Chain A
Amino acid sequence: GDSVTQMEGPVTLSEEACLTINCTYTATGYPSLFWYVQYPGEGLQLLLKATKADDKGSNKGFEATYRKETTSFHLEKGSVQVSDSAVYFCALSDDDNFNKFYFGSGTKLNVKP
């Protein structure tokens, strides 16, 4: 079945460090891929998405490229800020209508000043 695997956290970085959170997926079809972010005490917010191979999603300095050959969608940011501290979830939807999502287990990011 469809699934998402992402690196375990927590990830602790200093401000302005580079970030990579790995995400790989298993899907039978051609899924769309997403990153969601959950700030402390809040719900899940869509961070970025990519709907087909080689697409790059980007938002707020974060980027992720849909790599079909490696079934990956790693999240990257060149310079993290303290305000980026949150839990990041990789997710996929293999439904044309985005009817159902499969989430990874989440990676907690702590950014220290």
Chain B
Amino acid sequence: GEDVEQSLFLSVREGDSSVINCTYTDSSSTYLYWYKQEPGAGLQLLTYIFSNMDMKQDQRLTVLLNKKDKHLSLRIADTQTGDSAIYFCAENPYSSASKIIFGSGTRLSIRP
């Protein structure tokens, strides 16, 4: 089946690293995504990783993929107040290449 799970909340101190975790169930997923959603706004594609990769780095963002455990993580280095948002993990199952399946989102809050 298709299911993506994330923890609901994460609180970090400004300047620290944030690590948001996600597990997915469809081992055939070809792409895995991280989207950011600010209050009242749509979804912003942050980054994505192809299933044959283990890691992808893009400026302050690092994505790690463990296919064996079906675990995806997003690390945000030097977390800033502007990073406060809900972060969605999503998979693109091979069985349904037309759509992506989202988790419920992790709300990241930054404390001074």
Bound pair (A, B): no
Binding site for A on B (CB under 8 A): none
Binding site for B on A (CB under 8 A): none
